[in-house]
Chains A and B, each alone.
Chain A
Amino acid sequence: MSARKLPRSALFFLMLAVTAFTAVTFLISLYVFKAQAVLTDRVLSSYVTDVAETFAQGLPQPPDIPPVPATRGVKEFGSRHTPRRRMFFRMFATDPSLNSGGLLLFDSERRPLGGSEGAENLISLWRDDVALGEPTVVSDKDGRSYYMVVRALDQGGYVLVAASKTNLLSSYSRLWNFWLISVMISSAAMLVGIAALWRYFVLPIRRIVEAVGSLRWGVSMPKFAYEGLLSLYEVCELESVIERSASEAISEKGLRARYVTDIVQAQEDARRRLARELHDGPLQSVVASIKRIQLALSSAVGGAAREKLDEAERISQYAANEIRDYCDELSPSWTALGISSALEELSERLSMAHNALINVSVDDEYGDMPGDCALAIIRILQEAVSNSVRHGGAHVIDVRLERAGDDLIFSITDDGRGFSEGDFIQPDFERTRLLGHRGLSNMHERVQMLGGTLSIGPASDNPDARGARISVTIPISLAERPPTPPLPRQ
């Protein structure tokens, strides 16, 4: 049971969504951060203007107002307004004891006529460069800044309204800014985190998946990109686990290949030795006896003795032929002449034995080809031609050995019945072996020994065409290198 699989893009879109929302949050915070400074400025400016305006409009009496002690507040002007305004000034103040602004009424000689508590100190804020009716930001001698407006009254005199920026809104705006910056920092951190997650986790996982996907187990090692760069511990561990399994697969496959190679090698060695013994021993003895018989025949012998000698020579010739055939069957000595000659010799023999036309085409000399590679090709040809004729009823067989890029391609194409649909898309060599058809699996084994691949299929892509094609692809490096020494005994 495998887990249900989300589409490949799911992770990407998930991260994209998170990134997008975080980025939007960041941008909104940035905007609010900027906008709130402007907003504060506008609110306080319009606040002081409005207070001054409201006060000017609501003045109950003509301007011959008697001066009032600064400390008494503005109760005298109208009790309806004063408490509310005082409350207004305190509303935003984080510390009510601080002077957060006030309202001051004064005449043209700058004499205070009345105002809110402590407001008489504010007169010093009014400098000549402050235009009447314009809300302005000014600073007092202690460095506190105020939004201030001075308005001329219809009744004469002026009203000054000031709201302390420092004492009234600073703490609030500091908190607000702190919050905004926190949001901005955290969303920025999230963006960095997402980028890091993508770079150090998602990408490595993806490239691991890719490397493992394209990995030929037992043949090659996985290639992980970004080698030498900083990587997460888990990713490194995962990579090393995969590398370990891959290298184990390679050594296991190598061991198996060597095992098979050793068996086949031992077999071939034994056959070669036996062929050698037959050639050097019995065959030469029979040849020597033929020579003796021929010698005897060449001297003047007549009658019954001559007949017997003739018969003896015939029998000996027959024996010599038989032994020769055994030698060829066991281990053809002409493989030593090079792959091109060996293929031609074998084709000549096979075409005579099977009564089929075999065309050989070799595109180069391949003088460096190691003996086991040449022998494997010879054995594959033997097997393939026999299959083509026996099972396919082939009459014409094309044998080609050619170089294609970094590969050596050995192909055998016949004009026989070929395979019916889906016969051998990818034959299961173990199964065919169990079914008693050793031929194909033997071929497969030989090719594997060489580190090549075997493919079996129709002679052409045309579905109506007849014929079968067996092709063996061997990396050229393996077809030219001397054979690897057998595994040392332990």
Chain B
Amino acid sequence: MIRILLADDHPLTRAGLAAWISDVPDFKLVAEASDGESAWRAMRESSPDVALLDIEMPNGTGIEITERATRARMPVKIVMLTAYRAQQYVMASIRAGATGFVLKTAPFEQLRMAIVSASEGRFYLDTSVSLAGSGDVAPEELSPREKEVLILTAQGMQGHRTASKLSITERTVQAHLASVYNKFGARNKTEAILIALKRGIIFLDELHIDEDGEI
């Protein structure tokens, strides 16, 4: 049984989602919230396994609530729900500590998979958040350096910082990234990071920076 918190400021959407959750045999809706503050309160009071958070909410966006939960080291897994399709929302959610990302318009099956994956601690990304090169081609292996560069970039580190951290030049950082794009068929670094996450080449917990700033 997966205990679920649902937070969305739009009543119709929330009602639709709530109705679906109640229908899924293994899911149990333990709390509903209509804004950031009540979502945060519900998260602490009903200690759900998975929280479905809308990004755009009054009194605290889904991303802010996720950050709070991560900082408080709460065991809840968070799946972001949004009507917007922006890769940077995905990145911001992941950096904040979310485990899944699903568009509101996605079929319920995707949402189900996202919730199940999240409850098991696995990353899930809606397929319609456009990803080039995410086909079935077997991914080429990344070199350890390429992986390091990709992880630091995924943490939101800028090129010159990554370079100084790894004691290489910024140009080399760019070359490693270009090589990663090439191997994945990605068009930019966000895509590369998302593909790497999706394929389990890098993991979510590698993207969170500890208090002392180390990986």
Which A residues form the contact surface with B (CB < 8 A)?
279-280, 283-285, 287-288, 290-292, 294-295, 298, 316-317, 320-321, 324, 327-328, 332-334, 337, 340-342, 344-345, 347-348, 351-352, 357-358, 361-364
When distances are taken between beta carbons in the complex, the residues of chain A under 8 Å from B105 are: 287, 290, 316-317, 320-321
In this assembly, does B83 line the interface, its C-beta being within 8 Å of a C-beta of chain A?
yes
When distances are taken between beta carbons in the complex, the residues of chain B under 8 Å from A321 are: 105
Find the A residue at minimum CB distance from B107. A294
Do B17 and A341 touch (CB < 8 A)? no
Secondary structure of the B contact surface, majority rule: helix
In this assembly, does B104 line the interface, its C-beta being within 8 Å of a C-beta of chain A?
yes
Complex CA distance for A357 and B91, rounded to whole angstroms: 20
In this assembly, does B89 line the interface, its C-beta being within 8 Å of a C-beta of chain A?
yes
Do B91 and A298 touch (CB < 8 A)? no
A-B contact sample (5 more), CB < 8 A, given A284-B83, A334-B86? A290-B105, A295-B23, A340-B158, A341-B92, A364-B158
Which B residues form the contact surface with A (CB < 8 A)?
9-10, 12-13, 15-17, 19-20, 23, 56, 83-89, 91-92, 104-105, 107-108, 130, 156, 158-160, 187-191
Find the A residue at minimum CB distance from B159. A361
Complex CA distance for A364 and B13, rounded to whole angstroms: 38
Complex CA distance for A288 and B12, rounded to whole angstroms: 5
Do A324 and B10 touch (CB < 8 A)? no
Find the A residue at minimum CB distance from B87. A348
Complex CA distance for A352 and B91, rounded to whole angstroms: 18
With contact pairs A280-B10, A344-B188, A344-B190 given, residues A295 and B16 touching in the complex (Cβ less than 8 Å): yes
When distances are taken between beta carbons in the complex, the residues of chain A under 8 Å from B190 are: 344, 348
Do A298 and B23 touch (CB < 8 A)? yes
**Smallest CB separation, B164 vs chain A (Å):** 12
Complex CA distance for A291 and B59, rounded to whole angstroms: 25
Do B158 and A363 touch (CB < 8 A)? yes
Do B56 and A279 touch (CB < 8 A)? yes
Complex CA distance for A361 and B162, rounded to whole angstroms: 12
Do B13 and A287 touch (CB < 8 A)? yes
Secondary structure of the A contact surface, majority rule: helix
List 11 A-B residue pairs with CB atoms under 8 Å apart, sorted by A's residue number. Answer: A279-B56, A279-B84, A295-B19, A316-B105, A328-B84, A334-B86, A334-B89, A337-B89, A342-B88, A344-B88, A345-B88
**Smallest CB separation, B130 vs chain A (Å):** 8
With contact pairs A344-B188, A361-B159 given, residues A337 and B83 touching in the complex (Cβ less than 8 Å): no
With contact pairs A287-B83, A347-B188 given, residues A362 and B158 touching in the complex (Cβ less than 8 Å): yes
Find the B residue at minimum CB distance from A319. B105
Query: Contact check: which of A280, A292, A327 meets B16 at CB < 8 Å?
Result: A292
Query: Contact check: which of A287, A333, A347 meets B104 at CB < 8 Å?
Result: A287
When distances are taken between beta carbons in the complex, the residues of chain B under 8 Å from A317 are: 105
With contact pairs A291-B20, A333-B56, A351-B188 given, residues A345 and B158 touching in the complex (Cβ less than 8 Å): no
